[in-house]
Amino acid sequence: MTKAAVDPCIFVILGASGDLTRRKLLPALLRLNAKGMAPDKLIVLGTARTADFDDAAFRADARRSLQSAGMSSEEMSHWCDECLHFLQMSKGDSDDYRRLATCIEQLEREHGTPANRAFYLALPPRAFPSAIEGLGEAGLNRSSGWTRLVIEKPFGRDLKSAQELNALVHRYYNEAQVYRIDHYLGKETVQNLLVFRFANPIFETIWNRDRVESVQITVAETVGIEGRAGYYEESGVLRDMVQNHLTQLLAVVAMEVPSAFKANAIRNEKMKVLDSISPIHPNDAVFGQYIEGMVDGIPVPAYRQEPKVRPDSQTATYAALRLEIANWRWQGVPFLLRTGKRLAKRITQIAVSFRCPPVALFRPNPCPEIQPNVLVITIQPDEGFDLSFEVKVPGDMRLQRQSLDFRYGEVFSDIPEAYETLLLDIVTGDQTLFVRADLVETSWHLYSHLLENPPGLHLYTSGTWGPSAADALIKKHGTKWLPE
């Protein structure tokens, strides 16, 4: 990360007593400060309904969280004392938001900072509308400096709710002020995918239907719902992972070369990809739900045995989908998406399988069928790239599969966490890695039919790669899931 121009500002976290603030936001802000990337004058103002919080309690809670994240005590204590403040907003009504406006102005006077403000909604999705309206009605949607609104996913729960939320946002904020955050887009490997494609013509020239057989995108988790039944029962895998994370990854893989490396140029090309996706046929979707099994050698319960999950729940924890992009570059190339909980391994990767040679030159020899070259882009863990290819075994006309690989951790000692990248982009005003309103709505539109008419549910054993129906889905295209 290089030092960008960072204006002094106040960073307001609505919902500062929550897990997101403790585990992600405060550690990311402190790491940016330690690297000299944060504003020289950064005020962090937390707000929450928590009755027993004040400045001292907020700072003490932050110290505990930061210590758990491995921060040094001296650096941490100084930063907490200098930067952190707290305001209780017990009711979340118009009076609370007027008090928030007064508190912000007072802190800006005390610290001598201009009126540059970022408002981060670290809140449950149901609280987004009231918070947006509260900020807007209190005049906190504008200032003499800059004002930015940051909204966590999920942005809506279907097309209609996303459109309503966008309309509410745009009542108070213009699109240039809005940062819809998808933390997957902040990962270094996702960002580097643009460089990998567009700075290396050797790959860009074969990145099309003439050379690519299929594209797989896998986001696999070994964890269950982690006590979030209240959220997950209403969400399910399609809303939780597919509509946002996997669809954004697909757009980055499939987009055309942008006219410039600028936010709207890149987002325009991503929008063209989503616009070109054909309607998803019901036979090209497999939904599943995990039952009891073993994960990492530990027995785990079925989804329906999780606390607060309905015993007859039909909520999907797994999805495998086949998508087609009806444009000149990708016509006829299947994009195969897979995600689920309680799977065999935690991994996020993109696998691009290239077409086999058109002539079976080596078939008369006693060697297996030639396998396709595959480029595997691993986003987490162990970020990097692997390119597989065939070589001849010395002394015999037999083929053996080998690979070239690159690992970020072996070359770069300091890989920023996704929230570091995204928070820095917020305070510097770079929207490249954030999701625009039209992208959100088009993404929801893609999956509307599956949300309204979900396919039948297939049960799968925890610790496996999902239901057998997903294997049958991909076999139709003469390939198999990677990793196996």
pTM of the model: 0.91
Provide the β-strand partners of residue 390: 401
Q: Between the CA of residue 7 and those of 186, 328, 387, what are the distances in Å?
A: 21, 43, 42
**Residues tagged active-site:** 245
Task: CATH 3.40.50.720 in the chain: give the residue spans.
Answer: 9-152
> Mean pLDDT across the stretch 308-332?
97
| 41, pLDDT greater than 90 | no
Task: CATH 3.30.360.10 in the chain: give the residue spans.
Answer: 185-475
Within 69-158, residue ranges assigned H as helices are 73-83, 94-111, 128-137
**Max mean pLDDT range (148-157, 169-178, 191-200):** 169-178
Measured from the Cβ of residue 132, the count of other Cβ atoms closer than 10 Å reads 22
Q: Which residue has the higher pLDDT, 11 or 399?
A: 11
Rg value, the chain, Cα: 24
Which amino acid, residue 466? G
For residue 190, give every residue at least 6 positions away whose Cβ sits within 8 Å of its Cβ, in sequence order, or none: 184, 249, 252, 379
pLDDT level of residue 360 (50, 70, 90 thresholds): low
pLDDT of res. 264: 92
| 385, pLDDT greater than 50 | yes
Pairing of β 334-340 and β 9-14: unpaired
Q: Which residue has the higher pLDDT, 200 or 134?
A: 134
Distance, C-alpha 109 to centroid of its chain: 37
Tokens 């009605």, residue?
Answer: 137
Nearest-angstrom CA–CA distance, 343 and 340: 6
| 210, pLDDT greater than 60 | yes
**Max mean pLDDT range (5-14, 142-151, 364-373):** 142-151
pLDDT of res. 363: 57
pLDDT of res. 61: 86
> Mean pLDDT across the stretch 19-35?
90
> Are 173 and 140 within 8 A, CB to CB?
no
In CATH, which of 3.30.1950.10, 3.40.50.720, 3.90.1150.10, 3.20.20.10 is domain 9-152? 3.40.50.720
* pLDDT, tens only, 109-132: 999 999 999 999 999 899 999 999
3 state DSSP class of 148: strand
Which amino acid, residue 364? P
Q: Is 248 exposed, middle or buried (0-12, 13-18, 19+ CB in 10 A)?
A: buried
Which amino acid, residue 302? A
* pLDDT, tens only, 414-449: 888 889 999 999 999 999 999 999 999 999 999 999
pLDDT level of residue 197 (50, 70, 90 thresholds): confident
pLDDT of res. 3: 47
Q: What is the dotted CATH code of the domain comprising 185-475? A: 3.30.360.10
Of 3-12, 97-106, 335-344, 445-454, the poorest mean pLDDT is in 3-12
Q: Is 332 exposed, middle or buried (0-12, 13-18, 19+ CB in 10 A)?
A: exposed
Measured from the Cβ of residue 174, the count of other Cβ atoms closer than 10 Å reads 10
Within 123-262, residue ranges assigned H as helices are 128-137, 159-172, 188-198, 201-204, 229-237, 247-254
Ramachandran angles phi, psi of 144, nearest 5°: -75, -15
> Are 483 and 219 within 8 A, CB to CB?
no
pLDDT of res. 5: 66
Nearest-angstrom CA–CA distance, 174 and 177: 6
Tokens 């001598």, residue?
Answer: 112
| 472, pLDDT greater than 60 | yes
Joined tokens for residue 146: 């800059």
Q: How many residues does the chain have?
A: 484
Q: Which residue has the higher pLDDT, 234 or 77?
A: 234
* pLDDT, tens only, 336-358: 999 999 999 999 999 999 998 77
3 state DSSP class of 294: strand
Nearest-angstrom CA–CA distance, 217 and 248: 11
Kindly report the average pLDDT of the chain as a whole number. Answer: 90
* pLDDT, tens only, 267-303: 999 999 999 999 999 999 999 999 999 999 999 999 9
> Are 341 and 223 within 8 A, CB to CB?
yes
pLDDT of res. 479: 85
